[in-house]
Copies of this chain bind each other. A is one copy, B any other.
Amino acid sequence: MTDKHVYFFGKDSTEGDRGMKDILGGKGANLAEMAGIGLPVPPGFTVSTDVCISFSKLGNKIPPEVEEEILRNLKKLEDVSQQKFGGKDNPLLVSVRSGAKFSMPGMMDTVLNLGLNDTTLDALVEKSSNRRFALDCYRRLIHMFGDVVLGISKKKFEGILKKKKGEKKVALDHELSEKALEELISDYKDLIKTETGKGFPQDVKEQLLMSISAVFESWNNPRAVTYRRLNHIPDDLGTAVNVQQMVFGNIGEDSATGVGFTRSPATGDKELYGEYLFNAQGEDVVAGIRTPSPLKTLEKKMSSVYTELKEITTNLEKHYQDIQDFEFTVQEGKLYMLQTRNGKRTGLAAVKIAVDMVEEGLVSKENALLMVEPDALNQLLHPVFDAAEKGKHEVLASGLAASPGAAAGQVVFTAEEAVAWAKEGKKVILVREETSPDDIHGMSAAQGILTATGGMTSHAAVVGRQMGKPAVVGCGDVKPDEEHKSFQVGKSKYEEGDWISIDGALGEVLDGEIPTQPSEIIQVVRGEKKPEESKIYQYFTKFLSWADEVRKLGVRANADTPEDASVALAFGAEGIGLARTEHMFFEKERLPFMKEMILSQTEQERRSALDNLLPFQKEDFYGLFKAMKGHPVTIRTLDPPLHEFLPRKEDLMVELAELKASGSQDKKKIEELERLLERVKALSEFNPMLGHRGCRLGISYPEIIEMQATAIFEAVCQLAKEGEKVFPEIMVPLVGTQEELSNQRSIIQRVAEDVLKKNKVKVDYLIGTMIEIPRAAITADQIAEEAEFFSFGTNDLTQMVFGVSRDDGAEFLAHYITHGILKDNPFETVDTNGVGELMKWAVEKGRETRPDLKIGICGVHGGDPRSIFFCHKIGLNYVSCSAYQIPIARLAAAQVVLMERTNK
């Protein structure tokens, strides 16, 4: 803690500026900045954020030396304002407002009109010659102080107010007579006495210090703590407290108060945007009791004020080089600025504003890139509900907002039904307990996915995001009964075919059909709309082209089909970083061969089944390569355990038990089930995540890898002969030792050379590996002897480094995050301390062996901005993410470069 804790602001004696957000908070720093550049800001002072921390440490007590400093500054404020706090004439009134480094709107507390008591009330009456106004201020003070500082339920005050309005037969607060206000004040005081045993404090310094304390305490109220968790704001920043001379928008009809934006935060359109109320104080605008008027109407009603406001805010936008969100008050015709800050905006607005400001010459391209949150780009891609339509529908339940976007459809319970219904042209929502890889086609056919279990990185969530499909997962209130094709939610039951809607951005499940439409950008990307017909698309691509000029990281897509690949390419992907070959085996006409392969007793039987799969795989790869037009395509060899392709053990056991217990005589069926069960049991594992999968399969059954390599290189040869460019990278999963990779590499290389030679084709290709087993990262120098590239599989790597299965860990990880044991979910953002440390080690070690080693990432983290920053910092060559996250990745990759520049 430094020696100075209180910073004054006011025309000639301002001590802070906008660079001091760390200690003054956002509001305090901006008030100082505005005061410093000569704008009409009521004077005041800011108690710094570090006091908030020492306040907590002292058990919620203001340190005595700080109290002294506050009182010194209060004296100065009296001097500057030429008023006296608690003075019997010309009394000084102040507001006390929180203001942390990062804006946390509505999370913490505010008290207005401090300095009023029974004595100064009379002084204020005298000074303002407006008794009604003075009483209005006093009743507001007691109400807010009672609520915020004394912790008495707001509802009790509101109840009294409502009763009073009823008695007096008026509808609005400002219609209350002076008498009514006097009675109200008396009733409020009685309430405080009853609730706390003491009267409303008449000592104005006590009022002030209690209010400052209350604001500091509010830093740790549950709302604020939760908000910080969700927004990744550290707990140890603390809030500052701003004490500021009151100006009054409620002094009469030549007074007003309002809030506004310099541009539309919804659309980005360049127009003064906001609302105000005559004869009101700040909270009235937000409270919604009176309907405020649109800001432009002020032009007619208070022309000079409007002109001044317009001028000031235009200058503020220039000064801050960003859209401003401001608050103002007009007291008896004079304009005061009470707050300015960069405005929060939708993704659409963010992009438009950034581009417009560059074109207006207000900001550089680099700064424009830093004005848009990468994740906000998502909002431009997902279908949306019409807000008005949505309001008409009941919210049935809430789950995790796993994949944004809005979808409406008829409920179905199996992937097969989803496909069948979709074929008939119906829109469906696939509702399942959870999804698995064999639901892929059903998920693909559905408008959206709703699951009862699973977390943000569950199968449904990951695939949903990858497909750009809205998904609500882990929605425990929804209880699907697949057998009876219905689900229960609360007291309602939904049957197959009933309509529901889901909002993947909010995690909401709603009754009935709410109409949706794909976003314009998606329509363009899918070729359903021409680029020149969409302004949004033009903004979007212009903006991202600037990102491409700056970024150093390559951006690739995780894509398994030619369709995905085309979308990825349209979004700017520079290659495929992960094509999962196993998805190809779940398709209807292939699964039987896959099952045959798995149930084979001998290598020969297995080879014959594989021969049947070969043409399918070749076709898959041909399509992918062709779609990617010569960009590199990373194909991962078979990864999941074989039992994933067979029915579940317990289902078979139950079926068998039922069949037997029912006295069935169908011996053939029983025997068949028993044989299948035996194989399923033999393949079943206690911890499949740590079992026989990835390259371990390829080592046990080299013929599978031979088939896959053959399919890849036959497709390559066919395309080469057709004159197409192809650049395959074959990636071996789940490698833990150099010898494993060496084994798989030699098979792939042998097949590749054979096929290329036979076809007389020359093509460059790479063989590399996932780094997803901790041991591979630790021994990266050895692995790099065999690997021409690395790709971090951060999903599995995180599971193993933490020893946490993402499927099983959802519940206790949530508990960890609420209890502050983890700051972030490591399955969403790379845990830089643990997993990241290992990644850094692997990059360094790998490049010790092979300085030109190409290194990427293909876990879900490849689409997470903070993880992308980290990937850049440790020197990866590219990130790979779902096609729909490509724009995010392009922007994040540019931002990290710009942030590094400014930190230099």
Contacts and interface: CB of A to CB of B under 8 A. Distances in A.
Given A657-B657, A688-B686, A808-B690, A773 B802 contact: yes
A835 interface: yes
A699 to B, nearest CB: 7
A782 interface: yes
Residue with the greatest number of chain B CB neighbours at <10 A, chosen from A650, A688, A743: A650
Interface stretch (A117-125, A575-583, A594-602, A731-739): A731-739
Interface string A677-708: 00000000111111110001001100000000
Interface string A777-811: 01100100000000000001001111111011101
B650 A661 contact: no
Given A657-B658, A699-B815, A691 B834 contact: no
B816 A699 contact: yes
Contacts of A903: none
Nearest to A741: B821
Contacts of A809: 690-692
A289 interface: no
Interface of A: 649-650, 653-654, 657-662, 685-692, 696, 699-700, 734, 736-737, 739-740, 743, 772-775, 778-779, 782, 796, 799-805, 807-809, 811-812, 815-816, 819-822, 831, 833-835, 837-838
A848 B749 CA distance: 46
B700 A805 contact: no
Contacts of A686: 688-689, 805, 807-808
B821 A740 contact: yes
Contacts of A808: 685-688, 690-692
Query: Which 7 pairs across A and B sit closest by C-beta, in order of nearness?
Result: A661-B661, A690-B805, A775-B834, A687-B805, A691-B808, A685-B808, A773-B803
A800 B821 contact: no
A662 B700 CA distance: 43
A739 B820 contact: yes
A874 to B, nearest CB: 15
Q: How many copies of this chain sit in the oligomeric assembly?
A: 2
B692 A778 contact: no
A805 B691 contact: yes
Contacts of A807: 685-687
14 contacts: A649-B650, A653-B654, A658-B661, A662-B662, A685-B808, A687-B687, A687-B808, A690-B799, A690-B805, A696-B812, A736-B804, A739-B822, A775-B802, A779-B837
Contacts of A831: 775
A775 B796 contact: no
Given A686-B807, A690-B687, A774 B801 contact: yes
Contacts of A834: 736-737, 774-775, 778-779
A185 to B, nearest CB: 46
Contacts of A796: 803
Contacts of A685: 805, 807-808
A779 B833 contact: yes
A653 B773 CA distance: 35
B692 A812 contact: yes
Nearest to A773: B803
A171 to B, nearest CB: 48
A833 B776 CA distance: 10
A821 B650 contact: no
A821 B743 CA distance: 8
Contact of A690 (B696, B778, B804): B804
Most interface-central of A734, A736, A812, A819 (chain B CB within 10 A)? A736
Contacts of A833: 778-779, 782
Given A657-B657, A819-B699, A801 B800 contact: yes
B690 A815 contact: no
Contact of A774 (B690, B822, B838): B838
Nearest to A833: B779
A801 B775 contact: yes
Nearest to A696: B812
B737 A821 contact: yes
A152 B831 CA distance: 63
Contact of A800 (B696, B772, B774): B774
Contact of A803 (B690, B815, B820, B822): B690
A619 B823 CA distance: 40
Contact of A653 (B653, B779, B821): B653
A804 B690 CA distance: 4
A737 B834 CA distance: 9
Nearest to A815: B700
Nearest to A736: B802
Nearest to A820: B739
A812 B700 contact: yes
Contacts of A691: 804-805, 808-809
Given A690-B805, A774-B801, A778-B838, A812 B699 contact: yes
A811 B659 CA distance: 33
A740 to B, nearest CB: 6
Contact of A650 (B650, B736, B740): B650
A696 to B, nearest CB: 5
Contacts of A835: 775
